[in-house]
Amino acid sequence: MGRLVPAVTRAFDILELFLQSDETLSAPEITRRLGLPRTTTHELLTTLAARHYLTPVPGQPGRYRLGVRTHQLGSRYAEQLDLAAEGRHVAHEIAQTCDETVHVAVLEDLDVIYIAKVDSTHAVRMVSAAGRRLPAHCTSVGKMLLASLPEAELEARVAGRALAPMTPRSITDPAALRAELAAIRARGTATEHRESNPDVSCVAAPVRDGSGQVVAALSISVPVIRWSEERETELAALAAKGAADLSLRLGHRQGPR
C-alpha cells in the first residue's frame, strides 16, 4: 500500500465532519474538532471552497456548508450504482439465454472497469470479476467505448500513449486501432479475438443513457473452443439486444429510423 498524503487526508477529514454535524461549520469548530493548526485549516478551507467542495455561508463569515461539487459526485455515484444494478439484471437475462459469461463495463481514461458480471454455467468459461480493470484497446467492451467517443476526445486520450499488449494478438499500433474503431462505428458492435486472453473471444454492443450518450458496453465472452463465425453473428445480435434492453432501463428511447 502506498503512503497516504497528509494534506489530502486532512481535506477528507474536513469534508467528513459534515456527515456527522449540522448543516454548517465554522473554521474554529473544524480546527477544534480535528486538532489542526489554524493556518492549516484556513488553507484547506480556502482550497476546498475554490474547488466548490465547500461554499461560504452568506452573511456568516468563516462558516461553510457543503458545495455543489459534493452533490455532483454523489449524483454520479448514484448513477453508477443504478447502472451496475440494472447491468447485473440484464446481464443475468442474457447469460440465461446464451449460457456464456456476460459483462457490463465503463470507460475510465484508456481502461475499462467491469461493473457487472454473470458467469456461464459451463465448466470451461472465462475467469474474471466485477471491479477488474483492463486496457480498453485489448477488449471488445473497451473498443466499443473508444469507438463511441467524439473524435477530438479519442485523439486526446490516445495521442502519444503506448498501447501495451496483453496477448500476441493485441492491437499495439495506434493507426491499426483507429482503423478498427472506424469499422466498429460502421458495424455497431465490437469484437475481440484472443486479444485480452489467449483462450477467449468476445463481442460487445453500446449502452446509452437517457440523453443518448454511450455510458457503458455489454459483452458476451466465449472460450475459443465454442467460438465460430456463426456463433459470433448470433452473439453479436444478442449483445446488441442486451445493450438495447439496458439502454431502455436507463431511459434511452430510440427514435424512428
H or E element, residue 43: helix 38-50
Q: What distance in Å separates the CA atoms of residue 144 and residue 214, rounded to the nearest whole number?
A: 9
pLDDT tens sequence across 29-44? 999 999 999 999 999 9
Query: Per-residue pLDDT averaged across 156-174, rounded?
Result: 91
Asked if residues 128 and 166 have their Cβ atoms less than 8 Å apart, the reply is no
pLDDT at 171: 95
pLDDT at 81: 64
Give the E-state strand segments of the chain in sequence order.
25-26, 54-56, 63-66, 101-108, 111-118, 133-135, 190-193, 200-208, 214-223
pLDDT-derived band at 26 (thresholds 50, 70, 90) equals: very high
Asked if residues 169 and 197 have their Cβ atoms less than 8 Å apart, the reply is no
Question: Which of 238, 245, 180 is closest to 208 using CA atoms?
Answer: 245
pLDDT at 125: 44
Asked if residues 114 and 130 have their Cβ atoms less than 8 Å apart, the reply is yes
pLDDT tens sequence across 210-239? 889 999 999 999 999 888 999 999 999 999
Q: What distance in Å separates the CA atoms of residue 242 and residue 18, rounded to the nearest whole number?
A: 41
Position of cell 443518448? Answer: 212
pLDDT-derived band at 2 (thresholds 50, 70, 90) equals: confident
pLDDT tens sequence across 77-130? 767 668 888 999 999 999 999 989 999 999 998 999 999 988 877 544 455 556
Q: What distance in Å separates the CA atoms of residue 139 and residue 181, rounded to the nearest whole number?
A: 12
Strands 101-108, 200-208: pairing is unpaired
Q: Which grid coordinates belong to 137? A: 484497446
Give the DSSP letter string of 171-233: ---HHHHHHHHHHHHHHS-EEEESSSSTTEEEEEEEEE-TTS-EEEEEEEEEEGGG--HHHHH
Average pLDDT, the chain: 89
Asked if residues 181 and 147 have their Cβ atoms less than 8 Å apart, the reply is yes
Query: Per-residue pLDDT averaged across 125-149, rounded?
Result: 83
Exposure class string for 7-40: b at 16+ Cβ within 10 A, else e: eeebbeebbeebeeeeebbebebbbeeeebeeee
Question: Which of 145, 134, 132 is closest to 167 using CA atoms?
Answer: 134
Cα-only R_g, the chain:
23
pLDDT at 252: 84
Other CB atoms within a 10 A radius of the CB of residue 155 amount to 12
Q: What distance in Å separates the CA atoms of residue 114 and residue 26, rounded to the nearest whole number?
A: 41
Examine the pLDDT at 13 and tell me if it is beyond 90.
yes
Examine the pLDDT at 69 and tell me if it is beyond 60.
yes
